[in-house]
Structure 1
Amino acid sequence: MTFAEEAGRLAGMAGAVLGWPPDRFWRATPAELHGLVAALTGAGRGGSDPLPRATLARLREMFPDG
């Protein structure tokens, strides 16, 4: 993907998800954009693997949904 394509994708995401107008997107630093994307996607938390089935079953028993 080219820089222009990636920038357009990120600008669209910032507008749709964050409500940012284009000028806010273009004033943002790369670090700000990275932090927002990481927060929205859960990237960098280190716990992105799914729960083991046994853990999920135990949680369902402890907290039934009615």
Structure 2
Amino acid sequence: MRAAGGEATTRPFPWEAVLDAGLCRLRLPPGVFWDLSLVEFAAMAGAFAPRSARLSRAGLEGLMRAFPDDAVGGSSPSVTA
């Protein structure tokens, strides 16, 4: 890829994020992690999940209006320490 000035620009591969996702979050053994192709890893990490499965801000606000925490006739929850 070339920047506006003509010089090539590259971003380093995000090794820290990939290692964290594979070894910590997915808890893959190192041998399995290193044997995965990039496509296999991306699938395991959720890169191909449908976008509609994620809750948008508007969706959250709609749920909050439809199901408020302070129900009619009920009492607000109290916090005790």
Larger helix fraction of residues: 1
Does residue 14 of the first structure (1) align with residue 53 of the second (2)? no
The letter of the residue matching 1:46 is S
> Counterpart in 1 of 2:31?
23
Count of equivalent residues? 58
Identity score, percent: 17
The letter of the residue matching 1:14 is G
1:27–1:56 Cα change, 3 Å: same
Q: Is the 8 A contact 1:15 1:21 kept in 2?
A: yes
**For 1:34 and 1:44, how far apart are their aligned partners in 2?**
13
1:55–1:32 Cα change, 3 Å: same
Matches within 5 A, 1:23-42: 23-38=31-46
5+ unaligned residues in a row in structure 2: which ranges?
A: 1-10, 72-76
Three-state SS of the structure 2 residue aligned to 1:10 is helix
Question: What TM-score results when the alignment is normalised by the length of structure 1?
Answer: 0.55
The letter of the residue matching 1:45 is R
The letter of the residue matching 1:13 is A
RMSD: 2.9
